[in-house]
Structure 1
Amino acid sequence: MFGSLRERNYRYYASGQVVSLTGTWMQRAAQDWLVLTLSGGSPAALGVAVALQFTPTLLLTLWAGVFADRFDKRRILIATQVALGLCGFALGALDLSGFAQLWHVYVLCFVLGCFAAIDAPVRQSFVVEMVGPAQLTNAVALNSMTFNLARIVGPAIAGVSITAVGTGWVFVANGLSSVAVVTGLLMMDPARLHRANGNSAERGRLLAGLRYVRKRPDLVVILALVFCVSTFGMNFESTLAVMARNEFGHNASGYGLLITSLAVGTLSGAALAARRSGKRGGTRVRVMLIGAGVFGALEVLAGMMPTYEFFALALVPVGVAVMTFTTSANSNVQLSVEPTMRGRVMGLYMLLFMGGKPLGGLASGWLAEAFGPRWPILLGGALSLAAAIAGAAVLARRRSGVAEGEQVRLT
């Protein structure tokens, strides 16, 4: 089931990620709670924090894809992971000293977002170098499982830790966790990496990558769908904390349980994706479209749940659907592009996947403030479902046009 772990370099990477991602999710839960505490429970303030953290994606992610195609990805990742760890230490020091103010958190959200924007496309395109094309889908699924296992464990630990010792020590723990992934990267054997060959000057051209995507209508549709679902549907950073605190009256532990419920579903979805990793490309496209549509419908249903317990249970199938969509979309993009273009295409993928978060975060905060915490979830699910239906219609029409063209040429 996990053939990608046979690769020595990937084993080092995956081991470090387990620890580092657990720390990352601990910090995310603590950061959301700190913002709500400092702002007096304002959903709009939380939306601003989310927007600031993801705004750098708009500015840096495409260029990070260029760097990924031109320079040593492993060395870039070592630098970004060290910087991300230092951000955790800085926020922890401010919080523990009692000097933390809301604007401090905003500034560090932006700085952390800058390094994360560089890290994301490099990390995504580095996976195929560690495992090779044959094991890429399996590795993407395993990465998702690791990510979501951390999403279960991290917030659960954070919820207990915030209550016991406060948010400051959670930030420090995240800073320490970055040591694990940096160690794994340093222990790799560069000679065993599956690096792409090609002209380095051409690989470094940003416009060449954008032109390449423009000539691929199938990629354009997938990337547009990714943008719509991630921007409007996947705003869990700014919706779950507000639902826990403002709608259901729960504390940090209750918020952590909601994240854990979602993560149980996403972990299950990632396991299913790993089992499907040998399927053909056409099957992956159908799985992606179905996953997006089912996710939208289930999110609307979750937003209608009357009690905290029912809402938490409803998040489990939501997690399965969203992971089905994201894993299949990531694999479709990476496996359908030329190796020398992969960094730039994944830079665009991550720009669209993460770059809409500022818009989504601000919109979610405003909707929750004006109409209530449920509305961002209800509207986000409805828009995701509509985007999936539109994407399926466009791809079906394109396939029909291609088939008609081939038939005309034969006659």
Structure 2
Amino acid sequence: MIPGSGPRKPPKPEVRGGLHQTFRALRHRNFRLFVFGQIISLIGTWMQNVAQSWLVYRLSHSELLVGTAWFCSQIPVLALGSIGGLVSDRFPRHRIVILTQALSMLQAFALGLLTLAGHVQVWHVLALATVLGTINAFDMPARQALIVQLANKEDLLNAISLNSAIFNAARIVGPAIAGLLVAALGEGVCFTINGVSFVAVIIALMAMRIPADTTRFAASSWSYLIEGFRYAWHYLPVRSTLMLLGATTLGGMPAVVLMPFFSDDIFHRGAQGLGFLMGAMGVGAVVGTLVLAHSNEVTGLRRVIVFSALSTGVTFILFSLSPRFYLSIAIMPVIGFGVMRQNAAANTLIQTLIPDQFRGRVMSLYAMTVVGLGPFGSLAAGAIAHALGPRLTVLMGGAVTVAAAWVFHAKARAVRA
């Protein structure tokens, strides 16, 4: 509201209720195409994630090597994410995403071929995971920043929430399919199906009509990069949100990385049990993001972030103490609900606060905190679990998440949604 304009509130655009309200970003043609491609491709991506973890576990039975596989797939996002953000702000984001999706398809086919041929070794998986992480370092900032171009700022919260819902709907379907396929046909089939699934998203991206980019560039790439970092550091709401995301990423990695050990060593449920646990987490994540998508307001996002982080940390602790497989399945949706509501709310808060000329670079920092810090969490999870066991490791991660939420809440007066 303009200062001094009086108590009368400006009228809000009329938005119908029900399903129309929840899915209103789909009125934009480009976003509909994006959703179509993502639904198919992300199911394949989640199949590959589960199959890759299981493959490393089957080949090594080592907590440390499973953690190392996650490290290799995520460390490039931290090391190269800032360059990816710079590229996203200097070149057309639409073309960048098409290229990165094509390269991801080739990576999946290479891993599938090695596995189906029976020649795969742990070092192959680690090397190809590093390749995929490098691709993602350029894909994530461009794809996150592209969403605003596919919808508009009025529908940004809805578009980000729907994108998160699709991501997690795939988390339900993908791991469940992967668990069945790994048990029946092996991991290589999952990798190959993932490669085929990229065809859908590439076709959808090529069918989009994106306006010409009119971005103006700084003379020096280095100064352009530093300018984006300086903006994020000095703008307290963005900096505080990124710091919370970094802490909760580190706290949440043990539960994700050590899930195969809970499924097999603790609950004796094998690959199918892993698929059910990950799928249950996806159910909660879909519900959480759809509830957020129904909202038409960006105010109050700080409260959503704090509550979600607190609830996630508490449920990590409960999961670590769970004595039964079915109780753990009941806990997983609550974890998914909290994690993805926090990430979707934080993503929206940041994107509504920043101007477009900084969007790629700041969203690269978002990717670096949500994904890029994961390698340190995964390596630490593997090493600590090797010494103390999976349960205590996940419990410690939950405690870190709760502490981070309380610190953020204590300083939250400076953050306004």
Q: Same fold (TM over 0.5)?
A: yes
Q: Distance in 2 between the 1:199 and 1:349 partners?
A: 23
Residue 320 of structure 1 corresponds to 337
Displacement of 1:383 after TM fit? 0.4
Residue 395 of structure 2 corresponds to 378
Residue 236 of structure 2 corresponds to 217
Residue number among 17, 36, 50 corresponding to 2:38 in the alignment? 17
Residue 351 of structure 2 corresponds to 334
- Match for 2:238: what amino acid? L
| Residues 1:305 and 2:322 are matched in the alignment | yes
Residue number among 279, 289, 295 corresponding to 2:297 in the alignment? 279
Residue 352 of structure 1 corresponds to 369
Equivalent residue runs for 1:383-394 within 5 Å: 383-394=400-411
Q: Distance in 2 between the 1:228 and 1:254 partners?
A: 28
1:278-325: CA deviations, max 9, x gaps?
Answer: 1243x0111111111111112111211111111111111111111211
Question: What is the aligned-residue RMSD (CA, Å)?
Answer: 1.5
Could you tell me whether the CA contact under 8 Å between 1:66 and 1:203 is conserved in 2?
Answer: no
Residue number among 118, 123, 135 corresponding to 1:103 in the alignment? 123
- Match for 1:75: what amino acid? R
| Residues 1:369 and 2:390 are matched in the alignment | no
Q: Distance in 2 between the 1:148 and 1:48 partners?
A: 24
Identity %: 37
Displacement of 1:201 after TM fit? 2.2
- Match for 1:239: what amino acid? L
Could you tell me whether the CA contact under 8 Å between 1:262 and 1:318 is conserved in 2?
Answer: yes
Equivalent residue runs for 1:33-112 within 5 Å: 33-39=54-60, 41-112=61-132
**Tell me, which stretches of 5 or more residues in structure 2 are unaligned?**
1-21
Q: Distance in 2 between the 1:334 and 1:168 partners?
A: 38
Q: Distance in 2 between the 1:147 and 1:43 partners?
A: 26
Could you tell me whether the CA contact under 8 Å between 1:235 and 1:357 is conserved in 2?
Answer: no
- Match for 1:340: what amino acid? Q
Could you tell me whether the CA contact under 8 Å between 2:46 and 2:174 is conserved in 1?
Answer: yes
Could you tell me whether the CA contact under 8 Å between 1:43 and 1:368 is conserved in 2?
Answer: yes
Q: Distance in 1 between the 2:87 and 2:219 partners?
A: 12
Q: Distance in 2 between the 1:373 and 1:244 partners?
A: 11
- Match for 2:282: what amino acid? A
Count how many residue pairs are aligned between Structure 1 and Structure 2. Answer: 393
Q: Distance in 2 between the 1:167 and 1:108 partners?
A: 15
Residue 19 of structure 2 corresponds to none
C-alpha spacing 1:305/1:186, structure 2 compared with 1 (3 Å): same
Residue number among 37, 44, 51 corresponding to 1:30 in the alignment? 51
**Tell me, which stretches of 5 or more residues in structure 1 are unaligned?**
401-411
TM-score scaled by length of structure 1? 0.93
Displacement of 1:202 after TM fit? 7.0
C-alpha spacing 1:386/1:203, structure 2 compared with 1 (3 Å): farther
SS at match of 2:218: helix
Could you tell me whether the CA contact under 8 Å between 1:78 and 1:182 is conserved in 2?
Answer: yes
- Match for 1:232: what amino acid? G
Greater shift after overlay, 209-218 or 384-393?
A: 209-218
Residue 287 of structure 2 corresponds to 268
Residue 3 of structure 1 corresponds to 24
Could you tell me whether the CA contact under 8 Å between 2:75 and 2:374 is conserved in 1?
Answer: yes
SS at match of 2:411: helix
